[in-house]
Structure 1
């Protein structure tokens, strides 16, 4: 599991990874932005010209792979249009409030995180995706033809497990088949296809019954399987398992190179990277390494951000969107309102990677996100409070408030709390423990996701919609204060600079003392001693 957990988390940034984090080479000098801060036309043109002949195969591989994230989007929101359907309630009269139907998929994804991390290391990224496809379809058909509730639950767990496996294998594959200069742009494809899958499920669920929706969703993994058969394995993985010829053939196909000579610089770079990574692990990290202060601090920050993201109320909104609108009692069709919200989500997903992260910084976006969600959740809770006080009738002249509030919640979440915790986690975790630490963070994320999805309706039954949204609003307020006082800004800082933020004064003093002892006598700065300069330069070359 630990061998690839770093990949699963850093790319689980899912698409929370940004173009700014993988800056476009050549964007300096001639491609600088204008004084108004707009993206230069040359950079924009390069980003929009992904379908050039040399990039088509890479883009095609990314599109095919991210059908997996589309399938995950189907799983996550299947319960939203299905639970309110009358024929579904008649088929399963003992379903209760439906919280288990909604949350079992999240529980399945929790168990998938360590298993898929192990599989992509042992059998490869491509094979893991292929082996996941047919169980995915089986899960959907179990749901569609379920004779009773236990079989339905098994189907939901299985589809959640397979969807969770895609969150590990797909981002790892995408990150490894793309070129450095377009990796940031194509990283958006994972979260974009996820949002499209969510939107597809809501729209189709508004037009057909739950049986047809389940069968259609079950056919998509089959399409994915046969499409993925035509794609190559990740060149980096082939280098890792010592298959250099296969790696060159795969990279040649991806880059549409006429000869292998064209891809030699890139394959050499991959081989050097794999060799360096193998040298740094030294057998892997241990639990003891996680207990050091400079490691515990970033782990605590990452886990806390996941906590605030999952308990912000967004899980309940995405799992029960249609039902929330039905309860709101407005004249607007609940399914139409849900489509508007999810379309907004798909659009805002594109804003963060291209513009905001490097313009405003991670910390600022998190605070803005928390504040926007706090205000919007308070407004939504107030609406339901007034509705209850009004005998269950919508408050006069406030029927617009649920839609506006939920759109604002969606925008606020996708601007900060959705993607930024993953970005920060990938940046602040120390490299020597990142594999083990990222595994812990991934498990923490899916555990919180399951708890939030499972308890949303149970808490609602106790304190009502108004209480649930006010509670989430309070959590967002606490989250904003946490970010303000504890989360550092990583914008524009190198990995070494970020790690220094978590070093204690004692460790810093010991490092300075050790550095002083290594300096040669009579040449404290290592400048006047030619031999010292030569050794220093050699060390720098080895480090690179």
Structure 2
């Protein structure tokens, strides 16, 4: 690829490549392979938003499985419950969702390779069945099995829905629409928290089954993603999908020509070998690191044991009301993130997010450490510190680390490697989530609850320099231009741009 093509493509996507001989930026257009100049036209938002919401309805049902254990666990441990769980059994029910998601993360790649839309539909069937198993569970082993199935579905849904939205959204709207999967997860969590205030664990499972039914039907009317269809050389279907997603009056030629420039998918062996290439392994490693950071910050442990943390801290707020408030704040913060991701960019939000999360966890830990020296009366101002610290922590996660860790796989990794990279990074992510959820009670016993919170806070602070030095800004950049970005970085670092005059100095900058 010539420097001329790379330079003008990057300029269009807000990547500036200049030489010392350049006096002004090149004009913002992109040459097609035949040399014709193509102008970009703005696509319609509504069909892309409709596709994202319909595809991510299954995220809502799966999000309910993440929120189920918080209101259901006290009901399962109540003396009048048909099943009564011990503290150890309750921790296994909470953590088996994560362990099942580990298996689902490994299955995500093969399922996604069949098609993003088909993967969502395949996950909807066992998801609905698992809710029914919970509702009629005769013993704790049935609960174990059902939550493992819920977790396996979660592992597939998390990556399949995120890839579907990332690959169907236009580059200027990918950040905002990329929050829709996380947003729908949070809607499901909030619905489960709210319903759990009035329903016991059996009826709450039936409620989860009810909201899962639309997920069986909605994927049928959705188009497959254009990049997936182009990679499979189904060009007519790709054009039809682009027209569906961008609007019938939108000129899709530029986007279609750019998709054709992306390398087509190779065989399984070639794709595995390709992961060792520097231009591939770098985005895969960055994606894996961000996803693991989002787990080791302790979010799942805090959400699962919110009521226990508030009771231990003797919060001034009723725990049932506090749980609903946390779910609502998580949803609102994700809505705000939809607008901020395309305005401020990924890197800034990640740095601010992890800093806020770390400070809030350290503050909560300090409150718990010095609790015996403080006024613990319900009417005191200090009694509000635990719930406020948790809310700030949730806001920080929902406005940065949560959504960005989701969209990373669809932005950084090239399309031809996403199925394998999804399995690899998904397995690492869900294994981390299982470790965090299962070991929280052990950490609480050995380090006390304040020590566990300080440990999670330290992980948040470690993530700040990593993001600053390692993560490139991808706001408003097309999928193909992101591939060019990593290629340019490798070429420049190796001084391997063959058609560059020896007197030129090339500088790549990413505009925030």
Coarse TM-score class (shorter-chain normalised)? 0.7 to 0.9
Q: Whole-Å Cα distance in 2 between the matches of residues 159 and 432 of structure 1?
A: 28
Aligned pairs for 1:147-166 (under 5 A) are 147-166=138-157
Q: Does 1:212 align with 2:170?
A: no
Q: Is the 8 A contact 2:105 2:422 kept in 1?
A: no
Query: Residue 144 of structure 1: which of 122, 135, 148 is its match?
Result: 135
Q: Is the 8 A contact 1:61 1:231 kept in 2?
A: yes
Q: Whole-Å Cα distance in 2 between the matches of residues 431 and 244 of structure 1?
A: 16
What secondary structure does 1:458 align onto?
Answer: helix
Q: Is the 8 A contact 1:362 1:420 kept in 2?
A: yes
Equivalent position of 1:71 in the other structure: 61
Q: Does 1:115 align with 2:112?
A: no
Q: Is the 8 A contact 1:69 1:197 kept in 2?
A: yes
Equivalent position of 1:334 in the other structure: 319
Equivalent position of 1:199 in the other structure: 190
CA-CA distance at 1:380 after TM superposition = 0.8
Once the two structures are superposed, residues 199-221 of structure 1 have per-residue CA deviations (whole angstroms, 9 ceiling, x without a partner) of 11111111211111100101222
Q: Whole-Å Cα distance in 1 between the matches of residues 138 and 125 of structure 2?
A: 21
Equivalent position of 1:99 in the other structure: 91
Query: Residue 82 of structure 1: which of 72, 85, 90 is its match?
Result: 72
Q: Does 1:490 align with 2:482?
A: no
Q: Whole-Å Cα distance in 2 between the matches of residues 369 and 461 of structure 1?
A: 29
Supply the RMSD in Å over aligned alpha carbons: 3.9
Q: Is the 8 A contact 1:68 1:163 kept in 2?
A: no
Q: Whole-Å Cα distance in 2 between the matches of residues 497 and 268 of structure 1?
A: 19
Q: Is the 8 A contact 1:70 1:197 kept in 2?
A: yes
What secondary structure does 1:331 align onto?
Answer: coil
Q: Whole-Å Cα distance in 2 between the matches of residues 408 and 462 of structure 1?
A: 26
Q: Whole-Å Cα distance in 2 between the matches of residues 237 and 298 of structure 1?
A: 19
Q: Whole-Å Cα distance in 2 between the matches of residues 228 and 152 of structure 1?
A: 28
Query: Residue 189 of structure 1: which of 164, 180, 186 is its match?
Result: 180
Once the two structures are superposed, residues 115-151 of structure 1 have per-residue CA deviations (whole angstroms, 9 ceiling, x without a partner) of 23323433x3333333322211110111111111111
Cα 1:284–1:160 change in 2 (3 A) is same
Q: Whole-Å Cα distance in 1 between the matches of residues 172 and 124 of structure 2?
A: 30
Equivalent position of 1:348 in the other structure: 333
Q: Whole-Å Cα distance in 2 between the matches of residues 313 and 426 of structure 1?
A: 24
CA-CA distance at 1:525 after TM superposition = 8.9
TM-score (norm 1): 0.72
Q: Whole-Å Cα distance in 1 between the matches of residues 208 and 14 of structure 2?
A: 34
Aligned pairs for 1:392-431 (under 5 A) are 397-423=381-407, 428-429=412-413
What secondary structure does 2:333 align onto?
Answer: helix
CA-CA distance at 1:81 after TM superposition = 1.0
Q: Is the 8 A contact 1:112 1:162 kept in 2?
A: yes
Aligned pairs for 1:270-285 (under 5 A) are 270=256, 272=257, 275-279=260-264, 281=266, 285=270
Q: Is the 8 A contact 2:265 2:417 kept in 1?
A: no
Equivalent position of 2:31 in the other structure: none
Equivalent position of 1:377 in the other structure: 361
What secondary structure does 1:138 align onto?
Answer: helix
TM-score (norm 2): 0.76
Q: Whole-Å Cα distance in 1 between the matches of residues 51 and 260 of structure 2?
A: 26
